[in-house]
Amino acid sequence: ECRLGGSAKRSYSITSCASVFQVNVRDALNQAMDEELERDERVFLLGEEVAQYDGAYKVSRGLWKKYGDKRIIDTPITEMGFAGIAVGAAFAGLRPICEFMTWNFSMQAIDQVINSAAKTYYMSAGFQTVPIVFRGPNGSSAGVAAQHSQCFAAWYGHCPGLKVVSPWNSEDARGLLKAAIRDDNPVVFLENEMMYGVPFELSEEMMHKDFVIPIGKAKVERQGTHITLVSHSRCVGFCLDAAAVLAKEGVECEVVNLRTIRPLDVDTIEASVMKTGNLVTVEGGWPQYGVGAEICARIMEGPAFNYLDAPAVRVTGVDIPMPYAKILEDHSVPQIKDIIFSVKKVLNM
Amino acid sequence: MQKMMTLISNVLRGSVSRNAASVVVSSRSYADFTPEATFDIKKVDLHRLEEGPPLTSTLTREDGLKYYRTMQTIRRMELKADQLYKQKIIRGFCHLYDGQEACAVGIEGGITLSDHLITAYRAHGYTLTRGGTVREIMAELTGRREGIAKGKGGSMHMYTKNFYGGNGIVGAQVPLGAGVALACKYLGTDQLCVSLYGDGAANQGQIFETYNMASLWKLPIIFICENNQYGMGTSVERASASTEYYKRGDFIPGLRVDGMDVLCVREATKFAADHCRSGKGPILMELQTYRYHGHSMSDPGVSYRTREEIQEVRSKSDPISMLKDRMLSNNMASVEELKEIDIEVRKEIEDAAQFATTDPEPPLDDLCSHIYANEKSFEVRGATPWTKLTSHS
């Protein structure tokens, strides 16, 4: 039985025993930040309640105790100001992680994300880099109602100059956050509060301190032959659940986890659609001008269109502000039955 | 209108005594010119400060000539930009700085190039004082490949080392500047950041958010409000419940300074820099200044103020004339020498303008470049699905 102890010094090698670690998404994010703070002195975290409160959702638990006031900074409730400060710090050579308590509050600071961070490298013709990560929980939660439930994947995914990442599981969270922190560009990192407590198995390789997942590459989570399901964040789990149910009826779904919203890995999606001939996109955000809309448009414009046996279809959040009552909320987001229903419709079953 | 003119005149009028100086005649240099002289400068209004900058400023001949040349260069460069704009060789936004030269030059006189500075869109003067050349500034205005931002940025987006633009969104540069200051403190340097904004921007919420954090964290930042009396077409009285911009930082100590006098600006900046470098945290300076042009090239600048007012400031408070008079009346330079500088400056501007109009536009290959840093080349979608362009870092 192997144990991964003192892994910092041990060089990576394939061992004959299969060590796996149960790590939930919250801890994966926490460990990723811890390791990157240790690795590079210029990395620091700022945001509301990130330090002494251990993080509003405990994602930064223990970091202030370990790294202190200089590197883990509690801010007042002034998003526009502290997001601007974070971007300025990135201009001057630091590598800030700017937390928005939820991405809904980023709207207060969106000018700094887009106009100060995303566009600066271009406007300066490559003179001024902006190595910043903006992170926080995105999309629907449970019972937090309309102002706290919006998905911003499409809004930020719209803008050139940004990288936009949307992890699903612990492996994604760990590898993509490390990649984002090491990236010299502004990265919008969209977490999901409902996923924070969900445990996943991480291999020894994934626990290595230099484990990074390339930004801009999707992952095929499940191989299939009849239809492609493309999704991001929490909905990837729903797609896998739907695929399990459909498998019993002889329908084999290929599930693609986008991992990155921008740049979109069109190649992986196209390859999958050219293999299966059918496409359903699944997202938590609203349908109009959303992530699914973009994927469908790209498929239409590319070689995969000729392989489609039926029009591509989107499963999305309902086109309404998020209601509060549980029964209403449940019916505002895509459910597994909606995915199954859509697959059967597309396959004419 | 009359009341406004009196208000502005009172604020900006140079006092007669200002040009008198106690002349330091230690040893006669070969040049026959006075090597340095000390001038009385206007007292600064203080907010939450027991003491302010000194009431005199000692100017060396060398510095005087340098400030003269730089201010004249900014002046001529801006006037040339005006010309080129009217010829439609410069397009889009063009916010000119003529009248305000003493601010940019005086500030630079109080800090060093290893300090940092950020401003808003009236930025051509600062791009120069922060190390840009007239040539690359003008070529940027005309959108050419040798422009300081390779033609990708334009008037409002010019960058040099330790100069973070040139920012188009009113007020956004202020928290950015505080972030730069945070980095200075974090990295353990004794550098500071000067973060500029106008009287129009002074009411922005994000600036007050920045005052708060900068004070809480004792960031080495000098907030500077360049009060040129008008935010676009709106006078300060019509925009601000309190026009005492140097007090708007509340808990932040403030100074109100004659922004038309380069020596005033320099002494105040030195004072403010000392404050920051001693770890006391932020400080706020209001520079009372004036712009001769309208808000931008699309604003004639006379619908909300009178030509008489503009003329009055030009004749009584022009920063370049003020410095020139001081130097001449104290035998620090000769008329011919200054004329020689004028000629050299004119030539530099002419050459730069010539270059800026003949340098080719950026290559189309550059269209999609500089999206991401340190990234291998990738495909960018063009205007149609068949137009596949490439982005290089």
Q: What is the pLDDT of residues A112-163, one digit of tens each?
A: 999 999 999 999 999 999 999 999 999 999 999 999 999 999 999 999 999 9
B34, pLDDT greater than 60 = yes
Give the pLDDT of residue B139. 98
SS3 A230: strand
Dihedral over Cα of B354, B358, B361, B365: its sign: negative
Contacts of A163 in chain B (CB under 8 A): 372
Query: What does the pLDDT look like over B235-267, one tens digit per residue?
Result: 999 999 999 999 999 999 999 999 999 999 999
B152 touches chain A (CB under 8 A): yes
B385 touches chain A (CB under 8 A): yes
Query: What does the pLDDT look like over B58-94, one tens digit per residue?
Result: 999 999 999 999 999 999 999 999 999 999 999 999 9
A2, pLDDT greater than 90 = no
Of chain A, the percentage scoring pLDDT greater than 70 comes to 95
B143 touches chain A (CB under 8 A): no
A75 touches chain B (CB under 8 A): yes
Give the pLDDT of residue A34. 98
Give the pLDDT of residue B11. 59
Apex B344 CA angle, B341 and B349, nearest 5: 125
Closest CA to B226 of B106, B131, B115: B106
Q: How far is A304 from chain B (nearest CA, A)?
A: 14
Give the mean pLDDT of A52-80: 98
Contact A184 B374 (CB under 8 A): yes
221-260 in chain A: CB under 8 A from chain B: none
Task: State the pLDDT confidence band at B27, using cuts at 50, 70 and 90.
Answer: very low
A186 touches chain B (CB under 8 A): no
Give the mean pLDDT of B273-296: 97
Contacts of B380 in chain A (CB under 8 A): 160
A85 → chain B, closest CA residue: B179
Query: Are the C-beta atoms of B128 and B254 separated by less than 8 Å?
Result: no
Task: State the pLDDT confidence band at A288, using cuts at 50, 70 and 90.
Answer: very high
Of chain B, the percentage scoring pLDDT greater than 90 comes to 92
Contacts of A121 in chain B (CB under 8 A): 370-373
User: Mutate which of B146, B176, B378 to test chain A, going by most A C-beta atoms within 10 A?
Assistant: B176
Contact B180 A70 (CB under 8 A): no
A9, pLDDT greater than 80 = no
B193, B205, B371: residue with CB nearest A161: B371
Is the peptide bond between A263 and the residue preceding it cis, with omega within 30 degrees of 0?
Answer: yes
**Average pLDDT value for chain B:** 94
Contact B159 A127 (CB under 8 A): yes
A7, pLDDT greater than 90 = no
A8, pLDDT greater than 90 = no
The 10 Å Cβ neighbour count of residue A305 is 14
Give the mean pLDDT of A179-191: 98
Residue A29: phi and psi, rounded to 5, are -65, -45
Of chain B, the percentage scoring pLDDT greater than 70 comes to 92
CA distances in angstroms from A4 to A8, A316, B248, listed in the order given: 10, 41, 57
Lowest-pLDDT choice from A13-22, A335-344, B267-276: A13-22
Query: What does the pLDDT look like over A191-241, one tens digit per residue?
Result: 999 999 999 999 999 999 999 999 999 999 999 999 999 999 999 999 999
Cα-Cα end-to-end distance for chain A? 48
Give the pLDDT of residue A17. 55
A122 touches chain B (CB under 8 A): yes
The complex scores an ipTM of 0.93
Task: State the pLDDT confidence band at B13, using cuts at 50, 70 and 90.
Answer: low
Q: How far is B157 from chain A (nearest CA, A)?
A: 6
Give the pLDDT of residue B12. 62
Give the mean pLDDT of A27-48: 98
Task: State the pLDDT confidence band at A76, using cuts at 50, 70 and 90.
Answer: very high
Pure H helices in chain A: 25-39, 63-67, 79-91, 110-111, 120-123, 153-157, 170-182, 204-207, 234-247, 266-276, 291-301, 326-330, 336-346
Contact A92 B183 (CB under 8 A): yes
Contact A92 B174 (CB under 8 A): no
Q: Is the pTM of this model over 0.90?
A: yes
B360, pLDDT greater than 60 = yes
Q: How far is A233 from chain B (nearest CA, A)?
A: 24
**Average pLDDT value for chain A:** 95
